[in-house]
Amino acid sequence: MPEITSPSDCQTVITTFETSPGNCQDLLDALQDAYDSFISKQPGFIAAGLHVNDAQTRIANYSQWTRREDFQAMLRSDEMRARNRRFNELSRSFEPVMYDVVAAYG
């Protein structure tokens, strides 16, 4: 499970997807399949979570990686490039952004 700490020893990536209620479940299914069968098995993967808003117009994905280079290598793989094309078909836009944890509460 993701653990949020500050300072953090891992790389945090937050990806937001803009979608429609008609495509939301299909996109969630595609994302879950990607994590189940590919992403979670990649070197450096630690944990991830998928979040969807009530209107089913946005999906947020929080993932943690050992190193920035591990995430980048996964993104550049042929498998992930094909999956990202599918995600693009099911969303208006999506953007993975790397973050550093500066504070954690709770």
What domains lie within the chain, and their CATH numbers? 11-99 (3.30.70.100)
pLDDT given for residue 18 in this prediction: 98
Q: Are the beta carbons of 50 and 82 closer than 8 angstroms?
A: no
What are 14-59's pLDDT values in tens digits?
999 999 999 999 999 999 999 999 999 999 999 999 999 999 999 9
**CA neighbor of 19 nearest in space, from 84, 98, 88, 72:** 88
Cβ neighbors of 43 (< 8 A, separation 6 or more) are: 66, 70, 73
Whether residue 100 has pLDDT greater than 80: yes
Give the pLDDT of residue 76: 97
Would you state the pLDDT for residue 5? 85
Burial (0-12, 13-18, 19+ Cβ within 10 Å), 63: buried
pTM: 0.92
Q: Is the pLDDT of residue 2 over 90?
A: no
What residues does 52 pair with on adjacent strands?
59
Biggest CA-to-CA distance, the chain = 39
* pLDDT tens by residue, 47-94: 999 999 999 999 999 999 999 999 999 999 999 999 999 999 999 999
Q: Give 106's pLDDT tier (boundaries 50, 70, 90).
A: confident
Residue 106 contacts by C-beta under 8 Å, 6 or more apart in sequence? none
